[in-house]
Amino acid sequence: MESVATYHTRPMSEDWSKPREIDPLADGQVVIDFAIPLAEFPRLRTQLARDQGSARGRIQFHRMANAPVADVSVSAEGMLICQRCMGPLQWSMSGGGSVAMVADAVEADRAPAGLETILAPGHRVSVRDLVEEELLLSLPIAPLHESDDASGCGVTDEKTPAEERNRPFAQLGKLLKRAE
């Protein structure tokens, strides 16, 4: 007879930043669907031009090799700052992955191979922290408008004609020859 896992979807109307015990979540194979306002992510908020909108997705808790694991899937639309023109840039953030939740370095060493780890001090973790980590990993190092994006920044990579180039040291050679 094949065993079937029972999943319990837990409604999350309470505070997303509240740390929760990871063992009951993993043992109960709890599934949490979420919609968290972007304004509630302190580390992500510093990367955004505006913190409007929300992150939506699902977290499935379970055990793997006796370690508590969270499978996180998230997507959101956010407004970043283009590093070329410093204007607003709409960005689709999405991510997902499995993370072993560990209390310390010893537990991290015992985590299943191939899994990233996230620190869960006292075997507690917040839904917000799990989601925020995935969103941060989905951000580019330097967000830029696409060069062919009509709504982009308008900065082109075309070379400035030679007669318009500013050459501050062009006359330096003549000055040095005079000094000889």
Identify the pLDDT of residue 160.
47
Do residues 63 and 151 lie in contact, with contact meaning Cβ atoms separated by under 8 Å? no
In a domain, 153, yes or no: yes
Query: What pTM did the predictor assign?
Result: 0.72
Average pLDDT over residues 92-97: 92
- Residue 17: pLDDT band (50, 70, 90) is confident
In a domain, 1, yes or no: no
Please state, rounded to an integer, the average pLDDT across all residues of the chain.
Answer: 82
In a domain, 2, yes or no: no
In a domain, 26, yes or no: yes
Q: 32-85, pLDDT tens digit by residue? A: 999 999 999 999 999 999 989 999 999 999 999 989 999 999 999 999 999 888
Average pLDDT over residues 87-103: 91
Identify the pLDDT of residue 101.
93
Q: Is the Cα dihedral 163, 169, 171, 173 positive or negative? A: negative
Which of 21-25, 59-63, 121-125, 149-153 shows the lowest mean pLDDT across its residues? 149-153
In a domain, 3, yes or no: no
Q: Which residue has the tokens 């006359």?
A: 171
In a domain, 138, yes or no: yes
Neighbours of 35 (CB within 10 A): 11
Identify the pLDDT of residue 35.
94
Number of folded domains that form the chain: 1
In a domain, 96, yes or no: yes
Residues spanned by the domain of 164: 8-179
- Gap between the Cα atoms of 91 and 77, Å rounded: 6
Helix (H) or strand (E) holding 98: strand 88-102
> What is the percentage of the chain residues whose pLDDT exceeds 70?
79
